[in-house]
Chains A and B, each alone.
Chain A
């Protein structure tokens, strides 16, 4: 076996020489991503936005030029400029820094809530449709009862029991979202269960777990992904409502929803940038997730695979 020449790693350090096969394997994922980006440009853009937001959230201290509550003397409600890219707010704070830090709360709440809600909704929706009978009846009546309450009543009741805090905001929003989503997922599962491949799996003696995990879930994945991406925007905005009611993250910690519904709205005429930038951040996040979700659905949905 010949000894290959030393190569440069991605970070620029001189690494151990790679075999041709290993080198090929190392770049394969990048080629796959490039291919996917070519096929799904909007999805790629969505992925880029999501990654950017995640980086913003993770490295806020390094990205933001100021702390989220640093007051800059003589800079009250300054319009966007070279010194302050997104302007300053009514308490003389740099908007760009607050938007960057705001990603933390908004992305954390958005991701965790949607993830928890989807897991719960999938478990309830799929099991309800698959097992049917008394289980379906009981579960669906509980969901009916849950959905019959105004959403704010449910959230406030849950928060009253659990107390304020970011974790409890996630739990209460997830509980709310999961009830609605479970009904949709149940419907999609019922449709999938009518398909012959499920009958075939049953005829071949597959167990419940295999049928659910191997045959049903992949076929309702498209629905689940759409629900997740739609839910994200809703959750980011709902967090702001809860923060305003005193249940979320207390000021001065910024969240996009809180910035938009708080002073952003109050000073909309005089300092529109105070509302515009958090609004743009929310829109970008929702757009990014929707596009990424759309592309993922196309890739993962067996019916759309290859389209």
Chain B
């Protein structure tokens, strides 16, 4: 719980009294809840928060920015791989992040939604209206490209995108973002008149594996992608000049401190394509973004020791965060779910309404629930969002089991309690709830196990936990890294199950276990 508080009140890090108060409150459940509420109003002494998208180059650029800010004496943190363009853009506008790496083509097409290709100055002016500033290009153009296996391209004689017209049987595997983009698949197909019928959406990193084993023949890529050389792929020439320029820049909130902005601007023009490909390759080779980012700086070698976080340490950090996410959300589910279950057990319109609401929440896919919460002002890209989503998920089993546990108490026993003359509160606390305890606890157990599993998704919005290695493993197409997260998460679920079995023996009255 302690580290969770740190996260939640992290913005107040510079205020010692808050830290003291936090320490005093650690361990007590209700105060922690209050801290969560208090965290709504951010204090002023914030570190600069850098966001990044969910692919290697963005991670590396994010790390470089953090490092550059730190070198300039500006406190900065990096939230890795928060999602796609829209999530990052909204997080920037909402103030959950202060800066993130972006590409001019993406800004024009996705954010400003221009039909023509605007000039650099036009883009800058348009962003200014949103209170967002933009650095000069960092030096490389990472445009979209279509790639194929070299051998296959040679065999079929495909060199340009136009050449694809002659091979309608080729299977396309495209990222979901590319499929939906204004400058993505649909206009590309129209422009070139591409005939391919087999088009599927696939995760970027998984797509490379699919390409290698022949499940797909063509996929979208970024022109600085290290995977292109690594996997012996060729970039098909954009002979009709469809793709706009994708010069890498940093976007930042105009209100960001001048020191931070000038630190970011010192990165302008310092990264050419060759250098970026090299950094991307190093990141994927070492599975370590910080290390790759450090290569960018001359003192990279020396500060590399901060990079070597040992595996047990990382695992501990992930696991702790995972337990915090799942545990805290479970606690909220219990605090809210049991009273709701008690009300629901009385039936009527309100009872039906409560059960209906909880059921509906449960039917929303967890990923969609996260995506729905992110644009809401209070939530955004934060631990709050992850905990709220998990809390909502955990609600139904607890509400339903509390209600059914209470409803299953025989009428004769309810009436005995009434006839004895016990007050309503005493009846609830000393008779009804203990009698329903088995059902309630099994609801809590279900919620806990669900939460442990679902909490892996929290990494998608930068909330950390065991989803972090799963996500970056997916991103790096590295099975070992995926397992580093998946195996502990599964073990954790088993452990939690076992813990609750023990808890049953402690909490369920003996008379009900005989």
- Report if A and B associate in a common complex: no
Residues of A whose CB lies within 8 Å of any CB of B are: none
